[in-house]
Amino acid sequence: MKLYSTNLQAEEVNFETALITGLAPDKGLFMPKTLPHFSGEELAALKDEPYPEIAFQLLRRILEGEIDEESLKAITYDAYDYDVPLEEVNENTYIMRLDRGPTASFKDFAARMMARLMQYYLKKENKELTILTATSGDTGSAVAHAFYGLDNIRVIVLFPETEVSDRQRKQMTTLDQNISALAIDGKFDDCQAMVKQAFADADLKHLNLSSANSINIGRLIPQTLYYFYSYLKLRDYPEEIVFSIPSGNFGNMMGCVLAKNMGVPIRKIVASVNENDEVPIFLTSGEYEKIVPSRNCISNAMNVGHPSNLARLIAIYGGVMDEQGNISKLPDMEKLNGDIFSTSVTDEDTMALVKQFYEENNIFIEPHGAVGIKGLMDYRAATNDNTLAVTLETAHPAKFPAEVKSAIGIEPEPPQSLKEIEEKEEHMEFLDTDYEKFKSYLKERLE
Ligand SMILES: *Cc1c(COP(=O)(O)O)cnc(C)c1O
């Protein structure tokens, strides 16, 4: 696999380099130059396999020559040891629940695979790495869990002591082993600034610090796999399918675009956003304008005014967008609009849908999943296309108890993974926002 940078000013690299470096040296995002194409026959042969086997069979082709098959198989089965339910709403609508991983978020799919692939390459080269990450809640717990118990990698998570919920904090502090949690007496921005300063600090170069941020190609590739899986379970090739994806940074949706390029017969990709509507506006007008600051909506993991994966979407349709969001070459807008339908959903409609869905179908959804469902309804109303559709639920409803309760009056039961942490012992250290103290902490721990 050869990967290029979306800024087109960096040399092509292999998968290992793209995975370990994260961002290309010209500040662009890595994109695979070519991907395998799966024929109808190849897809049909996988139909009856369980999730980890389908994932492995796809990855061995996608990552051919980058990792030995035996290791890849072990990694894939270890990463995907949980269910991926497809819940029927009616005969042509299904919900794919991506909320059964250890942190009850779809981010587990990407983070667990990326972590294990990193471990594989580090071990092979006998290297060690420390991941530093600042979080306002959810990303930190998904990253911490993904790397938990792995060799050659430590994780240090910084979080604002008073700004995360009890449950979010416990997801980071009850792990221990190779995971350290640092409660900072400050705001999320202070945590972020301390981490950035550490990355830029020449005195700390020898500590081999890295970030596991969301733009890593190692997170994108695993997000292609569940589109294949749900297609295989619900359709027979070459029947078509529609996917509706609640989107913020558009990583999940990019996974769907790549799955389509690799052969899944996707009729339409519905990219549903909250009131941060810069992408639907761009698709209809060809004019791109970031939303600064981003709008605060209840589907808070999607409050993004400039999606980091947009440069990838534009690249795959023949355009060029730099890291600031400037477009120097417009993509093929006709093709883009042919493949993708994007729509914005208000908070009011989001909450109404959480309620309606429970009343009509007896199904719990949370605000992000509701944006996906409303987007599908908008698409069907606009096109009269009733092709079988899968809409993605990206978090467990129990992760948003207050919102779900205010919509329907009942709190959803938390899954086992969230219940377990209630009884576990917490381990954390406390620091203020003084960078020098943080620096001494890192040196004491890592030297
Ligand atoms: C991160 C996240 C999203 C948005 O995914 P992107 O890949 O950033 O578009 C949607 N829902 C939940 C619950 C998330 O955590």
Residue nearest atom 15 in ligand 1 by C-alpha distance: 301
Residue nearest atom 14 in ligand 1 by C-alpha distance: 301
Which residues does 62 contact at the CB level (< 8 Å), separation at least 6? 1, 35, 36, 221, 224, 262
Residue nearest atom 11 in ligand 1 by C-alpha distance: 394
Q: Model confidence over 302-336: pLDDT tens digits? A: 999 999 899 999 999 999 999 899 999 999 999 99
Provide the pLDDT for residue 312.
96
Provide the pLDDT for residue 118.
95
Q: Model confidence over 144-159: pLDDT tens digits? A: 999 999 999 999 999 9
Two tokens at 173? Answer: 């502090």
Please give the number of the atom of ligand 1 that sits closest to the Cα of 250: 9
Residue nearest atom 8 in ligand 1 by C-alpha distance: 249
Residue 87 has pLDDT above 80, yes or no: yes
Which comes out higher in pLDDT, residue 418 or 67? 67
- Whether cis (ω within 30° of 0) applies to the bond prior to 238 is yes
Q: How confident is the model at residue 210 (pLDDT cuts 50, 70, 90)?
A: confident
Average pLDDT over residues 272-279: 97
Q: How confident is the model at residue 199 (pLDDT cuts 50, 70, 90)?
A: confident
DSSP labels for 377-415? HHHHHHH-----EEEEE-B-GGGSHHHHHHHHS-PPPPP
Q: How confident is the model at residue 193 (pLDDT cuts 50, 70, 90)?
A: confident
What is the Å distance from ligand 1's center to 250 Cα?
Answer: 8
Specify whether the CB–CB gap between 242 and 313 falls below 8 A: no
Q: Model confidence over 35-85: pLDDT tens digits? A: 999 999 999 999 999 999 999 999 999 999 999 999 999 999 999 999 999
What is the Å distance from ligand 1's center to 65 Cα?
Answer: 31
Residues 9, 227: Cα–Cα separation, whole Å: 32
What residue type is 316 in one-letter code?
I
Q: Model confidence over 357-376: pLDDT tens digits? A: 999 999 999 999 999 999 99
Please give the number of the atom of ligand 1 that sits closest to the Cα of 223: 7
Mutate which of 107, 216, 252, 253 for ligand 1? The one with the most ligand atoms within 8 Å of its CB, which is 252
Please give the number of the atom of ligand 1 that sits closest to the Cα of 139: 15
* Percent of the residues in the chain that have a pLDDT greater than 90, as a whole number: 83
Q: How far is CA 151 from the centre of its chain?
A: 23
What is the Å distance from ligand 1's center to 360 Cα?
Answer: 26
Residue 213 has pLDDT above 80, yes or no: no
User: Where do the domains of the chain lie?
Assistant: 84-105+219-408
Residues with C-beta less than 6 Å from any ligand 1 atom: 105, 107, 138, 246-253, 301-302, 368, 394-395
Two tokens at 174? Answer: 């009850």
Mean pLDDT (the chain, rounded): 94
Residue nearest atom 2 in ligand 1 by C-alpha distance: 301
Question: 214-218, 231-235, 387-391: which has the minimum mean pLDDT?
Answer: 214-218
Residue 431 has pLDDT above 90, yes or no: yes
Regarding the domain delimited by 84-105+219-408, which CATH topology (the fold level of the hierarchy) does it fall under?
Rossmann fold (3.40.50)
Residue 208 has pLDDT above 90, yes or no: no
pTM for this prediction: 0.94
Average pLDDT over residues 22-32: 91
What is the Å distance from ligand 1's center to 248 Cα?
Answer: 6
